[in-house]
Structure 1
Amino acid sequence: MKATDPVFFTAQIRAMEQQAMQLPKPPQLMEKAGLAAAQAVRDRLLKNPNHNVLVLAGPGNNGGDAFVVARYLQEWGNAVTVVFAAERDRVPADAKQALQAWLDCGGDICNDLLDGERSWDVVIDGLFGIGLDQSHHRSIEGQYRGWIETVNRMAAPIVALDIPSGLGSDDGCIYGIAIRAAITVTFIGLKPGLFTNFGPECCGEIVLRDLDIHLSSPPEPQAWLLNDALVQTLLPLPRSANSHKGSFGNVAILGGSTGMVGAALLAGRAALHLGAGRVYAGLLAENAPPVDFSQPELMLRAPSELFALKPLNCLIVGPGLGQSAQARSLLAMALDSDCVLVLDADALNLIAQHPDLAKNLCQRKASAILTPHPAEAARLLNTDSITVQNNRMNTALQIAQHFNCYVVLKGAGSICCFPDGKRYLNTSGNPALSTAGTGDVLAGIIGALIAQGANPDHALLLAVYLHGAAADRWVQKYQGMLGMAASEVITEARISLNQWIYQHHGDQHNRSQ
C-alpha cells in the first residue's frame, strides 16, 4: 500500500513557504499562485475570451493572489472587475506589489459590491484563504459577509483561491459564513479542511498546484487522501478456481436486541454479499427469528454460541446490541477473545460507560476496529459532538491512540486512523448515506474483507472508500440523493468491488475462471 496524496496542516504550509523563500533562488510564490489559478480558470471555464469576471480581493496575501489572477485574465481578453475594500497601507508587501501591478496594467478597483449590478460569468474568491484559521477564532462579519452572501446567490461559478473564504483549512469548520465554490485551486499542498466537515460542501472540484516547491526536508504529512489511486493498491486478488467457502473466512455478528434485529441482519447480509465464506449472527432479542427468510444463507445462533466457532476471523459487535446487562457481558467476552473485532453502535456506548470494558479494549492484543459517528466519538472521549466536529482530525487520532485501535470517524470526509497515528481522509460518499442502517452495512463490509484475509488497515480503508463509492454509484444511477436504503448500499458495493477487481486484475481474473 502506497499513499501518494499527502495532506498538511496550515502551519506546515506556512513553514514550507518560509523554507522556499530561503532557497538560493526563491520562487515568486504569489505570481506563480495567481498564474496557476488563472490558467485553471481559463482551462475549465473561460476557454474563449470576452467574459465578465468578478474578483473579490481581501486584505492579505490571498488578496494578492487575486490581483495576479485578475491581471492575467484581463490580459487574456476578459473584462475583469476587482472589488477591494482594505486599507492599502496595511496590505502585506507582496500583495501590495500585486495590487500595484494590477493598477499599472490599467486595472481598476471598486470598494463595494452591489447585488444585481451586472451579470458575471465567473467569480474569483480571494478574500481570506488560509488566513482564517482556528487559532485566531475569527468569524467573517460586516462587509465581507455581505459580499459572500451576494456571490453565493449568483448563478456564476465561484473559483476559490487556496480554500473557500470562511472555511477552516485545518478543520473544515465555517467561521461565520463561507464561500460555496465550484472549483477550489489550492496551493503548495492539500489541507484537511478541504475534505472533511463542511469542506466537501464548500470546495467543489479541488485542483492542486504545488507551485514547483521542492524542499530538501519537507514536513511529515499529517494525513493522506483515501482515493481511487490508493484503493487500487488494496484490492483482493481474483478468486482461484480451486477455492471453497472455507477459503474466504468466517464472520459473526453479535447484536440484534429487541426492536433492532434488522441492524444485525444488515451487517450480516453485507458481510455475505461482500464475499465472506460463512456468516453467523447471534441475536439477543427474545423473539428472534430462527432464520432470516430474506437471506437464509445467514446462520443464526444463540449469542453465546458464537464464541465457540472455530475458526472465527472477525467478530462484529454492536449493530442493534442494546445496553442491557446481557449485552455488556457478551461485549466483555468479545474483548477477552483473540478474534479481530469490529465495534460499532452500542458496543461503543457501553465502552464509554464502563471503565472496565475500556481497559480491556486498551489492553487486548488482537486488533479492534472502532466505527463511531460523532456522537459516539464524543462519548468515548467524554466530550460533546460539537467539539468532535470542530476537531475531527484530532478526535480520530485521540481515539486510535487512547484505545490502541483502528478507527473511522464517520461523517462528511470520514477520517480513518491507525494505532500508530497515521490518518486518511476519505474522498468518496455523499449525503444519501444519511439513513438508518448504513453504519451496520459498513461494519459488515469491514468484517467480510478481514475474513477474506485483508489486514485490518487495508480492510478499513477499502471498506470505507467502497461504502462511499457505493452511495456515489447509487446517486449517479438515480440522479438524486433522496431515498437510498441501507440494503441498496450492499448491492452497489458488491457490484463496485467486483468491477474494480476485474478492471485491475483483468487477465488474471480471466485465467482463474
Structure 2
Amino acid sequence: MTLPLPFSTNALYSVADIRNVEQEALATLTTGSLMRAAGQAAAVFARSLIPSGSAEILVLAGPGNNGGDALEIAYLFAAAGDRVSVIIAEGIQAYSAEAKESLLKAQSSQVHFFGLDYLQKNSGKQWTLIIDGLFGIGLTRPIKGKVAQLIEHINQYAAQSGIPVVALDVPSGLNADTGQVVGTDGIAIRASHTITFIANKPGLHTAAGKDYAGQVKVADLAIASQLFPEPVAILSNAAAVLASGSPRPHNSHKGSYGDVFVIGGEEGMAGAPILAARAALHGGAGRVFAGFLSRPPSFDSRNPELMCRRAQDVHFTDTTIVIGPGLGNSELAKNVLMSSLTQAASLVIDADALNLIASDPALQKLVNQRAHINDQTGNPVRTLMTPHPLEAARLLETTSGTIQADRLRSARALADKFNATIVLKGSGSIIATTGETLIINTSGNPALATAGTGDVLAGLCGALLAQGMPVSEAASIAVWLHGKAADQWVARGRGPIGMTASELIPAIRDCINHYSRRPER
C-alpha cells in the first residue's frame, strides 16, 4: 500500500515538512508569486461552488499569510464584479511583504473592509459564499475573544443557511497534524470545503478533521516534486489495489481461499462471534468456523454454512484466527488467547482479547514475539490488532484523550510496541506497520457508530488474511471496504441512523465484487 513518489495528492505531510518545502520554493520565486498562485487556485475552486452571476462574498482575513491568501481572493472576486466584504482580524501590522502586497491590491479595489463586530451589527445580511482565511497551519494557541465569537457566528449561520464555507489551507482553529481543534476549549471553523496548499495534511482526514474540513482539494501551487520528503502518511488507495488484483480462477475450490476460525462468545455474547464469522464468510473465506466459550449453537440459522464449535476444540495451528469478539475475561478466554498467540499463522486480535493483553505483561510478550516466528511454510506469521481509542489507551497505559490528541503517533507507538499491524479505529482510521508509511482510511461515516460493526471489521480482516493478502494490505482494504459499504448504504437513503452491523455484512460483499470486477471481453 505504499504510494509512489513524486508528489501525489494522497501523500500527507506534516506542518514542519510543508514549512521546509515552502521555504525552499520561495528561495527560487519572486515575492508574492506563491500567494498569488494560492489565491488564484482558491478563487477558481470557490467560484465552482456557487451559481453563476454576481455573488455576495464574505472573506475572513487573519493576521498571517493565511490572511494574505484571503485578501488575494477578495481582490480577484471583486475584480470579477462580485460584492466582497472583508472582516479583518487584528494584527495585520505584522503582515509579510507578500501579504501587504495582497492587502494593498484589495484596498485599491471595490472590496469593503469591516471590523470583527460587523456580523453582530448586520445579522440579516445574506451571503453566497464565505472564505475562511483567519488562521492557517501555524496556529498553536486556542482561538479566544472576539475572533472566537466571530467563528461561532459563522458556524451557526452556515449550518442554518447551507451556504459553502471554504477554508484556506486548513479550517481556522484545526491542528493540521492531528485533526484536533487547537486547545481543549478552542473553537474552529466548520468548513464545507477546504482547499489546502502545497500538499495534503493528515489532520484534514482523521479525528475531528473530517467534521471540520469537509471536502478537501489540494492545490500544489506547481512546487517541484523533488522538494518533498517522504510523506508522514498516505490516504488509502484500496479501490485501486482491489481493481488491480487477479480474478479468481475457475479452477479453484473452497480450500483455495483459506479457513477462518472466529473465537469468542462468552455467555450472553454469542452474537459477536456470529457477526465476525458472517463477515468472514461474505468477505470471501473458503470455510468459516465459529468457536464459542459458552455452549455453541447447533448452527447459524441465517448462514448455516458456518460451522459452530466449542472454543477448546478449535484447531489453532497454522490457520487464520480472529479472536476477541464477545470473548470475556475468564481463565478459559486467557487460555485460548495464549493458544492463538503461540500457534496461529495469521491472527486478528480484537475487543476483549485486546483488553486481556493490556492487563497481562506475559500476553504482551507473546504478541511481541510473534514477529520472530515463522509458520510451517517458512513465512513470518502475521498479527493484526484492531483497537478503538479506549482499547488503544489501555494497551499504551494512557488515556483515550491522549490517544486521540495525536492519532498518528499513537498508532505508530502501538505498532512499535507490539511488532504488529495496527488498525486504530475511529474517524479516519489509521493503519500502522513498523517500517511502513502510515495509512489513513478515506471511507466511512457515523452509520458505523453502532454495536457490532467492530466485530464485522475483525471478521473481514480475517477473511482477507486467509486469502493470502499481506497483513498491512489486508488491514487497509478491510477498513476501506467496511467504510465504503456504510457509505453506499447511506447513499441509498438507509442511514446513517439505524444501520445495523448485520445489514453491513452483505453490503461489504457487494463492495468487494463491485471493485474487484473486470469488464467482460
Alignment TM-score > 0.5, same fold: yes
Q: What is the aligned partner in structure 2 of residue 197 from structure 1?
A: 207
Find 1:84's aligned residue among 58, 82, 88: 88
Cα contact 1:226–1:461 (8 A) shared by 2? yes
Find 2:151's aligned residue among 148, 152, 156: 148
Q: What is the aligned partner in structure 2 of residue 447 from structure 1?
A: 462
Cα contact 1:130–1:162 (8 A) shared by 2? yes
Q: Find the aligned partners of 1:506 and 1:85 in 2 and give their Cα distance.
A: 56
* CA displacement at 1:308 relative to structure 2: 5.4
Q: Find the aligned partners of 1:118 and 1:24 in 2 and give their Cα distance.
A: 40
1:39-54 alignment, distance < 5 Å? 39-46=44-51, 48-54=52-58
Q: What is the aligned partner in structure 1 of residue 519 from structure 2?
A: 506
Q: What is the aligned partner in structure 1 of residue 132 from structure 2?
A: 125
Cα contact 1:20–1:27 (8 A) shared by 2? no
* CA displacement at 1:227 relative to structure 2: 3.9
* CA displacement at 1:230 relative to structure 2: 4.1
Which secondary structure does the structure 2 equivalent of 1:454 belong to? coil
Q: 1:20 to 1:229 in 2, by over 3 A?
A: farther
1:315-330 alignment, distance < 5 Å? 315-330=321-336
State the AA in 2 paired with 1:423: L
Q: Find the aligned partners of 1:88 and 1:221 in 2 and give their Cα distance.
A: 33
Q: Find the aligned partners of 1:232 and 1:14 in 2 and give their Cα distance.
A: 35
* CA displacement at 1:381 relative to structure 2: 0.2
463-472 or 89-98: which moved more?
89-98
257-266 or 26-35: which moved more?
26-35
Q: Find the aligned partners of 1:449 and 1:26 in 2 and give their Cα distance.
A: 52
Q: What is the aligned partner in structure 1 of residue 288 from structure 2?
A: 279
Which secondary structure does the structure 2 equivalent of 1:114 belong to? helix
Q: 1:228 to 1:82 in 2, by over 3 A?
A: farther
Which secondary structure does the structure 1 equivalent of 2:410 belong to? helix
1:446-485 alignment, distance < 5 Å? 446-478=461-493, 480-485=495-500
Q: 1:166 to 1:25 in 2, by over 3 A?
A: closer
State the AA in 2 paired with 1:373: H
Q: 1:228 to 1:350 in 2, by over 3 A?
A: closer
* CA displacement at 1:451 relative to structure 2: 1.3
Q: RMSD across aligned C-alpha pairs, in angstroms?
A: 1.7
State the AA in 2 paired with 1:315: I
Cα contact 1:186–1:209 (8 A) shared by 2? yes
Q: Deviations over 1:422-448 (max 9, x none)?
A: 201111000000001000000111111
Cα contact 1:254–1:281 (8 A) shared by 2? yes
Q: Find the aligned partners of 1:11 and 1:345 in 2 and give their Cα distance.
A: 36
Q: Find the aligned partners of 1:243 and 1:413 in 2 and give their Cα distance.
A: 36
* CA displacement at 1:330 relative to structure 2: 1.0
Cα contact 2:481–2:512 (8 A) shared by 1? yes
Q: Find the aligned partners of 1:464 and 1:358 in 2 and give their Cα distance.
A: 24
Q: Find the aligned partners of 1:308 and 1:33 in 2 and give their Cα distance.
A: 57
Q: Find the aligned partners of 1:91 and 1:431 in 2 and give their Cα distance.
A: 41
* CA displacement at 1:406 relative to structure 2: 0.4
Find 1:22's aligned residue among 21, 27, 30: 27
Number of aligned pairs?
497
Cα contact 2:272–2:455 (8 A) shared by 1? yes
Cα contact 2:89–2:134 (8 A) shared by 1? no
Q: Find the aligned partners of 1:44 and 1:325 in 2 and give their Cα distance.
A: 59
Q: Find the aligned partners of 1:236 and 1:440 in 2 and give their Cα distance.
A: 26
1:330-369 alignment, distance < 5 Å? 330-364=336-370, 365=373, 366-369=381-384
TM-score normalised by length of structure 2: 0.92
Cα contact 2:273–2:325 (8 A) shared by 1? yes
Find 1:490's aligned residue among 468, 482, 505: 505
Q: What is the aligned partner in structure 1 of residue 233 from structure 2?
A: 223
State the AA in 2 paired with 1:372: P
Cα contact 1:351–1:380 (8 A) shared by 2? yes
* CA displacement at 1:453 relative to structure 2: 1.9
State the AA in 2 paired with 1:12: D
1:6 is the counterpart of 2:11:
yes
* CA displacement at 1:190 relative to structure 2: 0.6
Cα contact 1:255–1:319 (8 A) shared by 2? yes
Q: Find the aligned partners of 2:430 and 2:310 in 1 and give their Cα distance.
A: 34
Cα contact 1:401–1:420 (8 A) shared by 2? no
* CA displacement at 1:238 relative to structure 2: 2.1
* CA displacement at 1:22 relative to structure 2: 2.0
Q: Deviations over 1:338-364 (max 9, x none)?
A: 411000001111111000000111111
Cα contact 1:253–1:264 (8 A) shared by 2? yes
1:95 is the counterpart of 2:99:
yes
159-168 or 416-425: which moved more?
416-425
Find 2:305's aligned residue among 292, 297, 307: 297
Q: 1:27 to 1:335 in 2, by over 3 A?
A: farther
Question: Which runs of 5 or more residues in structure 1 are unaligned?
Answer: none
Q: What is the aligned partner in structure 2 of residue 434 from structure 1?
A: 449
State the AA in 2 paired with 1:204: G
Q: Find the aligned partners of 2:241 and 2:31 in 1 and give their Cα distance.
A: 37
Find 1:188's aligned residue among 170, 175, 198: 198
Cα contact 1:20–1:215 (8 A) shared by 2? no
Cα contact 2:56–2:84 (8 A) shared by 1? yes
* CA displacement at 1:141 relative to structure 2: 1.1
State the AA in 2 paired with 1:259: G
Find 1:35's aligned residue among 35, 40, 43: 40
State the AA in 2 paired with 1:29: L
Q: Find the aligned partners of 2:310 and 2:239 in 1 and give their Cα distance.
A: 42
Cα contact 2:316–2:339 (8 A) shared by 1? no
Q: Find the aligned partners of 1:216 and 1:464 in 2 and give their Cα distance.
A: 32
Which secondary structure does the structure 1 equivalent of 2:492 belong to? helix
414-423 or 343-352: which moved more?
414-423
Q: What is the aligned partner in structure 2 of residue 55 from structure 1?
A: 59
State the AA in 2 paired with 1:54: L
Q: 1:96 to 1:217 in 2, by over 3 A?
A: closer
Cα contact 2:238–2:477 (8 A) shared by 1? no
Q: 1:25 to 1:491 in 2, by over 3 A?
A: same
Q: Find the aligned partners of 1:76 and 1:336 in 2 and give their Cα distance.
A: 69
423-432 or 108-117: which moved more?
108-117
Q: Find the aligned partners of 2:262 and 2:92 in 1 and give their Cα distance.
A: 64
Q: Find the aligned partners of 1:13 and 1:226 in 2 and give their Cα distance.
A: 21
Q: Find the aligned partners of 1:271 and 1:42 in 2 and give their Cα distance.
A: 46
Q: Deviations over 1:197-231 (max 9, x none)?
A: 11111111111000000053421100000145544
Cα contact 1:343–1:370 (8 A) shared by 2? yes
Q: Find the aligned partners of 1:74 and 1:246 in 2 and give their Cα distance.
A: 67
Q: 1:167 to 1:231 in 2, by over 3 A?
A: farther
1:259 is the counterpart of 2:268:
yes
Which secondary structure does the structure 2 equivalent of 1:129 belong to? coil
